[in-house]
Amino acid sequence: MKTLLTGATGFLGGWLVSDLLDHSFEITVIRNPKSKASYRTDSQYFLKNFTEKCREEFIDLFDYSAVEKIIKEVKPDAVIHMAAVGDVTVAKNNPKYTYEVSSNGTLNILEAIRVHSPDTLFLSHTTDKVYSGNAVPFNEEMLFDPNHIYEAAKVSQEYLTKIYSESYGIRAATMRCGNYFGGYDFNFNRIVPYVIKCAIENETVQLRSDGSFTRDFLYIKDAVSINRMLLELMSGTSCPFKFGDAFNFSLEIELSVMDIVHKTLELCDSKIEVQVIGDGASEIPNMRLDCTKSKTELGWLPKYSLEDGLYETIESYRSYLT
């Protein structure tokens, strides 16, 4: 399958490229020539030298003519769209750029598909943060009420995907997942890699909140396999879901941040100190996804438990942090 990817140099992107190459996908990667994230050498994409295994095109998604050109040229069987400003703090400090990456970038891809390659499948990655302001557990029928530019940007991406499916017949779907965790995540602002790093280096864990906020998770290997599952279903003669729909994927757990810290330290066999140094004022208090729709309509179930995923993750960090 000819597949065009955005966001391939990120945490999820690196794992997804690895998985698709293992399954003989023909991959074209769009890299933003102006983005620092596109050149981050600490990602799996570069560490495993995927630059030599994929076709690369340096394109600014804001440039419609460039996006149009690559869609016309490649005529991909599928586009997997992961490009975004992923750091909430960076998003807050760069609101215009954050919004435009998700809105204008998505719009340009969908419009180019509509005009030049209408049979191309479109798989969009957003976030469970779009549910901000709703009560847990989050389900796909809930209304959006974003209060942060990061959330608003992702909501715009979702609406565009839905509209282009319903109005123009684009075969698309949206993934909303719990917090990814796994090896090769070098953003140590995220709780799982941060705690593992502290345990390995015997440093005190410092939390931005009192640890009572709850979070939901999904192991990265489960996350990447969902992409292939959805593409297979979408390319079949009878897709089991309505194009343009969004689906939740997670372990459906409601662990407090403090619980995940202690569980991770236990698996690391570490007794390091945990300190609270912030009030968590800018964070969403509680997050848990309801994955009933994914289970009933797609027949999906996670293959990895939290403990199994954490164990593999810890072992991978031990191999390259030491």
| Chain segment 229-276, per-residue pLDDT in tens | 999 999 988 999 999 999 999 999 989 999 999 999 999 999 999 999
Residue reference for tokens 């999906």: 300
The candidate with the shortest Cα–Cα distance to 82, out of 63, 105, 59, is: 105
280 — pLDDT class (breaks 50, 70, 90): low
| Chain segment 202-226, per-residue pLDDT in tens | 999 999 888 999 999 999 999 999 9
Token couple for 173: 């779907």
Rounded-to-integer distance, Cα 273 and Cα 204, Å: 5
Token couple for 73: 């040229």
Q: State the pLDDT at residue 7.
A: 95
285 — pLDDT class (breaks 50, 70, 90): confident
The phi and psi torsions of 217 (rounded to 5 degrees) equal -135, 165
Residue 308 to residues 2, 129, 221, 261, Cα–Cα distance (Å)? 32, 25, 11, 16
Q: State the pLDDT at residue 37.
A: 67
Rounded-to-integer distance, Cα 7 and Cα 294, Å: 24
| Chain segment 7-26, per-residue pLDDT in tens | 999 999 999 999 999 999 99
Rounded-to-integer distance, Cα 88 and Cα 16, Å: 22
Distance of CA 260 to the CA centre of its chain: 20
The candidate with the shortest Cα–Cα distance to 165, out of 110, 126, 127, 125, is: 110
- Do the Cβ atoms of 206 and 277 come closer than 8 Å? yes
- Do the Cβ atoms of 223 and 177 come closer than 8 Å? yes
| Chain segment 30-72, per-residue pLDDT in tens | 999 977 666 677 899 999 999 999 999 999 999 999 999 999 9
Q: State the pLDDT at residue 25.
A: 98
CA angle, corner 233, sides to 307 and 113, nearest 5? 110
Rounded-to-integer distance, Cα 147 and Cα 286, Å: 15
Please name the amino acid found at residue 104.
Answer: N
CA angle, corner 15, sides to 10 and 221, nearest 5? 130
Sheet of 121-125: strand order equals 55-58, 26-31, 2-6, 78-81, 121-125, 172-177, 246-249
Residue 281 has pLDDT above 70, yes or no: no
Pairing of strands 179-181, 217-219: parallel
The domains located in the chain, with CATH, are 2-179+219-249 (3.40.50.720), 181-216+252-287+304-321 (3.90.25.10)
- Do the Cβ atoms of 82 and 137 come closer than 8 Å? no
Rounded-to-integer distance, Cα 175 and Cα 133, Å: 19
| Chain segment 132-171, per-residue pLDDT in tens | 999 999 999 999 999 899 999 999 999 999 999 999 999 9
Rounded-to-integer distance, Cα 315 and Cα 313, Å: 5
Tell me what the mean pLDDT of segment 126-137 comes to: 94
Residue 83 has pLDDT above 70, yes or no: yes
Token couple for 184: 């090769």
| Chain segment 88-110, per-residue pLDDT in tens | 778 888 899 999 999 999 999 99
Q: Which comes out higher in pLDDT, residue 75 or 36?
A: 75
Give the count of beta carbons closer than 10 Å to the beta carbon of residue 307: 11
The candidate with the shortest Cα–Cα distance to 117, out of 126, 125, 109, is: 109
Rounded-to-integer distance, Cα 73 and Cα 166, Å: 26
Half-sphere exposure of 89 (CA within 13 A, CB side): 6
